[in-house]
Structure 1
Amino acid sequence: MTLLRLFLWFFALAYLLPLAISAALYFNSGSGAGWRIADRSSAGLLPPAAAHRPALVRVFAAQTVRWRGIFATHCWIVFKPEGAAAYTRYDYTAWGEPIRMNGFEADGRWFGHAPETVFALDGAEAAAMIPALRDAIASYAWRERGDYRAWPGPNSNTFVAAVMGAVPGLGIVLPPTAIGKDYPWNGRWLRRTGSGTGFTLSLAGYAGLTLGWVEGIELNLLGAVAGLDLRRPAIKLPGLGRFGLPAQTLETPEAPHRAATG
């Protein structure tokens, strides 16, 4: 009974309380404009593509639409080869063809919600990464109509996790609010983490555990993630996200001090 009480206290403090706070913040802020007329304009996080010659890779995340925004974010990928005059954006959505290319502004607000930069890389390293990203997008398993499932996956965050996971040792850490990121996109319930510094156990996305030096400790219960990052001290809470140091800071000659905040 003592262990049960401890678990119930942990569940209440680490899961129910953060979600309750997130719900209160959501309802206090109002529901905003309906999704049909919500702002999807650029948030100004990217320079004009034609004026930025170096190759570029970004992962963005923004609070998702309607009540799901209480606990979930939507992630997407943007890249630009060196010298390209336009950005290419990829989302995985529930409507139309699941893999959507350039359906929205590269750094656009997600139905009214401004995105944050989860991962940023410019220059030669970004240029070397882009072919692997393209191959991963082209070979993504759940690409047919009807494959998308909001919970527990495969959804937009599963897609981003799979594509970025195609680059060995990259170590990108999606936000704890990226519901679906732990879905076993490669069919393996036990797999190495993206950084190669640990392992992820996922029970079809409904529950799981991640242990890694870069990813930290993450416990997934019904898709909600709570955890600790010891490498770059922070706590991760369902609905509220990460509190502490950013997950990773990437510095390049073209884009110094860009932070990955997942």
Structure 2
Amino acid sequence: MDHLKRRTTVLLGLVMVLVLPFGISLAQNPPGNDNPNETWRNAPRHSAGLAPDPVANADTAIVQVYAASTYSWRGYFAVHTWIIVKHSGAKTFTRYDVVGWGGGNVIRTNYAIPDGLWFGSEPEVLVDLRGEGVDDIIDDVEKAVQTYPYPQEYRSYPGPNSNTFIAHIGREVPALDLDMPANAIGKDYRDITNPVGMSPSGTGVQANLFGVLGFTAGLEEGLELNILGLNFGIDFNRPAIRLPSIGRLGLPNSGSLAAADASEKP
């Protein structure tokens, strides 16, 4: 009987761990707020006001990485990530995404405006780098875009997808200090020929099979366990619990803090 109680308690605990993050995600994005006339064709794609004015900052090299909830019901579980870059002297940003629909090469350049809403979802800043030394980082980012190993493949789950692409850039360019949220499904995708390597931040190690089973340990990610594409962990760098559906509970990542500081400057 005691054995049965222990099993029941463990089972209930596991259910709570899975259901609670999803419940929080629902609370943050209530279904009742959806516009019944809104489709992916007419969903808002305007600027979120997060990217600095490239003309006013023409002399400054800038890199930003964004994450926004994916479209429709998928947004309760996962985010889409992308990166924008601007060399010093340039007056426009270049945006890189992986987008699955449309066929052919899934890497898209300037698919949308730099900081545009992702089909109605407000983006969050994960990385915000500006100034001295950033031109070199941009060169490395552009090289990483060219070496993405899955330019003709796309699967929403478990990958490779948009988050697999940004995770690849993070590994190749550790100067980004990229900390991808736990709900960036696909960030841990590794095929059978390359199951062990650097974590997406480039600051740790990762072992994973196809994004559905493995673990990550890194200075940026902390400790994270991946089970069936759902990630659970602890971030020690900026204390937080890493959870599926909502990404993290605790202090925001460094990109969000940097963006907030920049927005407060006159």
The answer on 1:221 being equivalent to 2:227 is yes
Point out where structure 2 has 5 or more consecutive residues left out of the alignment: none
* Structure 1 residues 91-170: aligned runs within 5 Å: 91-96=97-102, 97-144=105-152, 147-168=153-174, 170=176
1:196 is displaced (CA, Å) by 5.1
Q: In terms of mean alpha carbon deviation, does 55-64 or 165-174 score higher? A: 165-174
Q: Look up the match of 2:55.
A: 50
Which residue does the alignment assign to 1:37?
Answer: 42
- Using the size of structure 1 for normalisation, the TM-score is 0.87
> How has the CA–CA distance of structure 1 residues 166 and 19 changed in structure 2, closer, same or farther, with 3 Å as cutoff?
same
State the shift of 1:8 in Å.
2.8
Give the C-alpha shift of residue 212 in structure 1.
2.2
Distance 1:126 1:248 in 2: 17
Instruction: Find the counterpart in structure 2 of residue 14 from structure 1.
Output: 17
Is the alpha carbon distance of 1:36 and 1:210 closer, same or farther for their aligned partners in structure 2, counting shifts above 3 Å? Answer: same
**Please, what TM-score do these two structures have when normalized by structure 2?**
0.86
Q: Is the 8 A contact 1:162 1:185 kept in 2?
A: no
**2:164 is paired with a residue of what secondary structure?**
helix
Deviation at 1:125, TM superposition (A): 2.5
**Structure 1, gaps ≥5 residues long:** none
Q: Identify the residue that residue 74 of structure 2 maps to in structure 1.
A: 68
| Residue of structure 1 equivalent to 2:207 | 201
Query: In percent, how many aligned pairs have the same letter?
Result: 41
Give 1 or 2: higher helix fraction. 2
For 2:19 and 2:131, locate their aligned partners in 1 and report how far apart those are by CA, in whole Å: 42
The one-letter amino acid of 1:136's match is: A
* TM-superposition CA deviations, 1:104-154 (whole Å, max 9, x none): 00000001111010111001232110111111111211112xx11111000
| Residue identity matched to 1:18 | P
Return the index of the structure with the highest Cα Rg: 2
Structure 1 pair 209–258 and aligned structure 2 pair: CA distance change class (3 A): farther
Deviation, structure 1 residue 13: 2.5
> How many positions carry a matched residue from both structures?
255
